[in-house]
Amino acid sequence: MVKDKHYKGSDLRWITITTLLLAIGVILRIISPNVGGISLNWNIVMYSTAILLCRPSLRQGFGIGLVSGIIATMTSKAALPYANLISDPAAAFVCALLAGTHFLDIKIGRVRLEPVLVIFITTFISGGVFVTLTKVILSLPMPLYLYAMMPAVLLVAALGSIAGQLLYFPAAKIFNDDNTLNKKPFILHDINLTVPKGSFFIITGVNGSGKTTLLLSMAGVRPSYFGGFENSSIHIGEFDVLKENPALLNRKIGVVMADYEAQLVTETVDDEIAFSLENTGMAPQDIIKKRNDVLKKTGLENMGKRKVASLSGGQKQRLVIAAVLAMDTPVLVLDEPVAAVDPEGAKEIYSLLYKLNKEYGKTIIVAEHDLKYVLDMKAQMAVIDKAYLKFAGEMDECFKYMYENKVYPEVIPLRWKIRWEMEKNIC
Amino acid sequence: MLNLKNISFSYAGREKIFDNIDLQIDTSLITAIAGRNGTGKTTLTRLIMGLVKAKAGTVELDGKIISDMPSYTLAKYIGYVFQNPDHQLFASTVYEETAYAPSKLGMNAEQIKKNVSQALADTGLSTKQNFMPQTLSLGDKQRLSIASSLAAAPKLLILDEPTSGQDCRERTVLLRLMRKLNKEGIGIILVTHDMDILAEHADRVVVLADKKIAFNGTPRGLFADTEKTTAFGLELPEAARISNEIGLGLCLTPRELYKKLAERRKSNDSK
C-alpha cells in the first residue's frame, strides 16, 4: 500500500531551517549595536521563528535551545555567560510547546499574531531565567535586578518580538510554513496495489497524475525535506521499503528513470556497468563476468569499449537497463523508458523488457502513456487519475474500464476502440 | 517557398548524407519530414537553419539566398525548436527566455513587449511568464521553445520531434497550436517519427532515404502504397492499418475511420 502526502516537515526540514536561521541569528547578534549594555537577542528571535516554522517536538525544541545556549555562552560578553546554557533550552522548550499546541495561534483580521506573542514570551523567559540566575549566583543587589535588569529584559523581549513578527512572514514564504504545507493535497491518495511476482505491470495516467511518484516511492525515493508518507507501507516480499535503510534497497529494486542521461555517470560502457558493482565491493573477476553477462542480455556485447556519449538514445537506455540488471534485483521499475527514444529503439527496449520478464523472471513495472509498444504483451495494467488509483487488473479489462468510465480515454489504442465500436454495432 | 538546390552534405570525415538533392517546400503548409534513423532528417533542418553548412548547393527562402547567412541573422526568418527543449532554454524566467531572440535581433522595447506577449498568449504560457523554465513540465518547455522562436516573428518554424515525451493531452495541445500558427501564415516543417501525427496533421510529406529525397507528396499518396512505405522504414498510421484490415479502404485518421465505419453501418442497415 502506498499513501503519500506532503504534510509536516521531516528531519531534514527542521534541521535545515533551524541551522540556517540560527546561523543568521548569531551573525546578527555579533554585528548588531549594543546600546547601554542592551542589544537585541537575535539568537532567540531566530530560533523562535524556526520553531514556529517547523513546529518540532518538545525534545527537538530543547535541542535547538541547547545549541543556541552553547553558542550564546561562547559569544556572550555578559557577566555570567554560562546561564545561557539553562535559559536558552528552557525558553526554546516553552516555545516548542506553544508552537506545537497552536496555543497562541491568534489572528486579528488577516494578520497572524502568533509570532509576536510567542517570540515575546520566549525572549522574556530566556532573559528572565538568565538575569535571575545571574542575580542569584553573583548575589547582585535586589534593586539592580528589579529596576535595571528586568526592565531591560522586557525591552529586549518587546524589540525581539517586533523583529520576529516582521521576519516571520518572509521566512514563512521562503521555507513554506506549516500552515501552507498542510494545505497541499495528496499526490497519491489511498492507493492499494499489489503487483504479483514475475508480472509485467504497466502504470498509466496523464502526466502529473502521480505515476512517477508512485514508482519512485516503490524504489524508496521519498521526500526528505518536505513531507512524506502518512499511515503507509510498501513491501517488496518481506522487505519494508519505508522502514529499512534505503541503501539496502538497491539489491531489491532497480530504477530506470525517464531521463537516461541523468543516470549515466561514467565515460565508457564497461565502466558504467562496473560502477555499481564496484560500489558493492565485488571482486574484479566477478565484475567482468557479470558485465559480459548483462551486456549480452541487453544486446550490447562488443560495445564495452565504446564511449557512452557516442551511443544512440536507444542504446543508452539499454545501457542503463544493463547497469541496473547487473545488480541482480528481482524487481525493475522503469519510468517512461521510451519517452526519449525513437520508435525503432523503443521497440527494441520493450522486446528486451519482455525477454527479461519472460526468460529471467524479473518483475517489471513500467510507467507509460505511449501504449502502442505494449499492446502485444500479456501485461497487467493500472490507471492513476489525479492521485487516485482507478483500476488495476488485466490490460484489456483496464482499457475497458477506462473506455466506459472516460478515465484518460485518449490513451486507449485505436484498435481497441474500433473493436468495441464494431461489437456495439453488431449487437 | 523554400528552395534547396543541388545540396550535398557530409559531416567531416564521414559518408555523404545528402548527394545532390533538390527540394521545394511550400512554406504556407505543414510539411513533415520522415525517414529511418540516420537518413538525415535533423541534418536537413539544420541545413535550412544554417546550423550546418552544405558542401555544395544553395538554400533559398522566397527567392532570397539564405544558405550563406549566419544562423543568428536567419532567426528573423526561421524559428528552430530542438527535440530536447533543455538544449535551448537558458534564461531565468519564461519572459526573459521569450524576449531573448527579439532583443538580440535589435527590435525596440515596444516591439519586443508586443511580440513576447503575443507569443506567450499563443502558446498558453501567459500565466507562467515569471516561472523558471527549468521547473516547467516537458510540454510547457516545448511550448516555451516555440514561444521564444515565435517572438522573433519568423516566416517558417522548424519543429524537431516536438511531441516526444509528452502525454496524449499535451500532444493534442501542441499539435493544435501548430495548426493555429500555420493558419496564421507561419510555415511549419515538422520532423517526426510518429506516423499517426504525420497522417493527421501534415499537408505534405518528404521522405528521406539513400541520401536522396525518396518521396515528396501528400500523406495519402505515401500511405496508399503500403509496400513503398514499409521499404522506407516507415509504418502505416494505426488508423490506416485498421482500415486496411477491416476492408474500409485507406483511412488516415481515427476520425475518418469512425466516419467510414458509420457509413458502412448505414449501408448495412439499409440492406
Of B170, B194, B233, the CB nearest to A207: B170
* Chain B residues near residue A408 by CB distance under 8 angstroms: 168
Of B166, B193, B242, the CB nearest to A343: B193
Interchain pair B169, A258: CB under 8 A: no
**Min CA distance, A342 vs chain B (Å)?**
7
**Residue B181 · residue B126 · CB < 8 Å:** no
**CATH label of the domain that carries residue A104:** 1.10.1760.20
Q: Is B262 on the interface with A (CB under 8 A)?
A: no
Q: What is the ipTM of this complex?
A: 0.72
User: Residues 6 or more apart from B92 whose CB is under 8 A from it?
Assistant: B132, B133
Kindly list the domain boundaries of chain B, sorted by start residue: 2-231, 237-271
* Chain A residues near residue B134 by CB distance under 8 angstroms: none
- Asked which of A178-182, A306-310, A349-353, B128-132 is least confident by mean pLDDT, the reply is A178-182
In the listed set A181, A198, A215, which residue is the last one of a domain according to the structure? Answer: A181
- Please tell me whether residues A204 and A142 are part of one structural domain: no
Cβ-based contacts under 8 A for chains A and B: 56
Interchain pair B261, A421: CB under 8 A: yes
Selected residue with higher pLDDT from A415 and A177: A415
In the listed set A141, A166, A181, which residue is the last one of a domain according to the structure? Answer: A181
**Min CA distance, A423 vs chain B (Å)?**
12
Residue A1 lies in a domain: no
Q: Which of A90, A81, A91, A66 is nearest to A164 (CA)?
A: A91
User: Residues 6 or more apart from B44 whose CB is under 8 A from it?
Assistant: B18, B33, B208
Grid-cell match 524559428, residue found: B79
Quote the pLDDT of residue A31: 87
- Please tell me whether residues A270 and A307 are part of one structural domain: yes
Helix axes A42-54, A58-75, angle to 10 degrees: 160
**Min CA distance, B167 vs chain A (Å)?**
6
Span A185-203, pLDDT tens digits? 677 888 888 888 889 999 9
The CATH code of the domain at B2-231 is 3.40.50.300
Q: Is B242 on the interface with A (CB under 8 A)?
A: yes
Interface of A with B (CB under 8 A): 206-208, 258, 312, 336, 339-340, 342-345, 369, 372, 408, 410-411, 413-415, 417-418, 421-422, 425
Residue A204 lies in a domain: yes
Q: If you measure CA to CA, which chain B residue comes closest to A422?
A: B261
Quote the pLDDT of residue A4: 39
- Please tell me whether residues A173 and A245 are part of one structural domain: no
Grid-cell match 525596440, residue found: B108
- Please tell me whether residues A282 and A248 are part of one structural domain: yes
**Min CA distance, A422 vs chain B (Å)?**
8
Of B36, B139, B165, the CB nearest to A340: B165
Winning range, highest mean pLDDT, from A233-242, B52-61, B188-197: B188-197
In the listed set A133, A151, A181, which residue is the last one of a domain according to the structure? Answer: A181
| pLDDT higher than 60, residue A182 | no
Please give the average per-residue pLDDT across A372-397, as a whole number. Answer: 86
Of A207, A342, A418, the CB nearest to B242: A418
Interchain pair B167, A411: CB under 8 A: yes
Give dist(CA B120, CA B110) in Å, integer.
15
Of B166, B194, B257, the CB nearest to A418: B257
Residue A4 lies in a domain: no
Please give the average per-residue pLDDT across B230-243, as a whole number. Answer: 88
| pLDDT higher than 60, residue A177 | no
Interchain pair B138, A344: CB under 8 A: no
* Chain A residues near residue B235 by CB distance under 8 angstroms: 343
- Please tell me whether residues A193 and A205 are part of one structural domain: yes
- Please tell me whether residues A191 and A131 are part of one structural domain: no
Q: Is B238 on the interface with A (CB under 8 A)?
A: yes
Amino acid identity, position A299: G
CA atoms within 13 A on the CB side of A8: 11
Interface test with chain B among A207, A259, A317, A425, by most B beta carbons within 10 Å: A207
* Chain A residues near residue B42 by CB distance under 8 angstroms: none
Q: Is B239 on the interface with A (CB under 8 A)?
A: yes
Residue A301 lies in a domain: yes
On average, the pLDDT of chain B sits at 86
* Chain B residues near residue A258 by CB distance under 8 angstroms: 165
- Asked which of A13-17, A20-24, A380-384 is least confident by mean pLDDT, the reply is A13-17
**Min CA distance, B119 vs chain A (Å)?**
24
- Please tell me whether residues A285 and A174 are part of one structural domain: no
Listing DSSP states for A281-318 in one string gives T--HHHHHHHHHHHHHHTT-TT-TTSBGGGS-HHHHHH
- Please tell me whether residues A251 and A210 are part of one structural domain: yes
**Min CA distance, A310 vs chain B (Å)?**
14
Interchain pair B261, A344: CB under 8 A: no
Residue A2 lies in a domain: no
| pLDDT higher than 50, residue A3 | no
| pTM (whole model) above 0.80 | no
**Min CA distance, A41 vs chain B (Å)?**
37
The band of A2, judged by pLDDT with boundaries at 50, 70 and 90, is very low
Residue B255 burial (CB count, 10 A) = 11
- Please tell me whether residues A250 and A391 are part of one structural domain: yes
- Asked which of A2-16, A26-40, A99-113, A217-231 is least confident by mean pLDDT, the reply is A2-16
- Please tell me whether residues A135 and A117 are part of one structural domain: yes
**Min CA distance, A296 vs chain B (Å)?**
24
| pLDDT higher than 80, residue B71 | no
| pLDDT higher than 70, residue B73 | yes
Please give the average per-residue pLDDT across A405-415, as a whole number. Answer: 86
Interface test with chain B among A414, A419, A423, by most B beta carbons within 10 Å: A414
* Chain A residues near residue B172 by CB distance under 8 angstroms: 410
* Chain A residues near residue B37 by CB distance under 8 angstroms: 312, 342, 344-345
**Min CA distance, B49 vs chain A (Å)?**
23
Residue A3 lies in a domain: no
* Chain A residues near residue B193 by CB distance under 8 angstroms: 342-343
Please, what's the b/e burial string for B109-124 (b: 16 or more CB within 10 A of its CB; e: otherwise)?
eeebeebbbbbbebbb
Cβ-in-10-Å burial (0-12, 13-18, 19+) of B137 comes to middle
Interchain pair A344, B36: CB under 8 A: yes
Helix H, strand E, coil C: the string for B118-136 is HHHHHCCCHHHCCCCHHHC
The domain total for chain A is 2
Quote the pLDDT of residue A63: 93
- Cα of first residue to Cα of last residue in chain A, in angstroms, is 41
Selected residue with higher pLDDT from A7 and A136: A136
| pLDDT higher than 90, residue A48 | yes
| pLDDT higher than 80, residue A176 | no
Q: C-alpha cell of B10?
A: 557530409
Please give the average per-residue pLDDT across A258-283, as a whole number. Answer: 88
- Please tell me whether residues A129 and A35 are part of one structural domain: yes
Q: Is B37 on the interface with A (CB under 8 A)?
A: yes
Q: Is B247 on the interface with A (CB under 8 A)?
A: no
- Asked which of A85-99, A197-211, A238-252, A283-297 is least confident by mean pLDDT, the reply is A238-252
**Residue A371 · residue A205 · CB < 8 Å:** no
Quote the pLDDT of residue A6: 35
Span B82-118, pLDDT tens digits? 887 888 888 888 888 888 888 888 888 888 888 888 8
- Please tell me whether residues A118 and A217 are part of one structural domain: no
The band of B167, judged by pLDDT with boundaries at 50, 70 and 90, is confident
Please give the average per-residue pLDDT across A51-77, as a whole number. Answer: 89
- Domain, as residue range, for A422: 185-426
On average, the pLDDT of chain A sits at 85
| pLDDT higher than 70, residue A13 | yes
* Chain A residues near residue B254 by CB distance under 8 angstroms: 414, 417
User: Residues 6 or more apart from A52 whose CB is under 8 A from it?
Assistant: A95, A99, A114, A115, A118, A168, A177
Of B165, B235, B261, the CB nearest to A339: B165
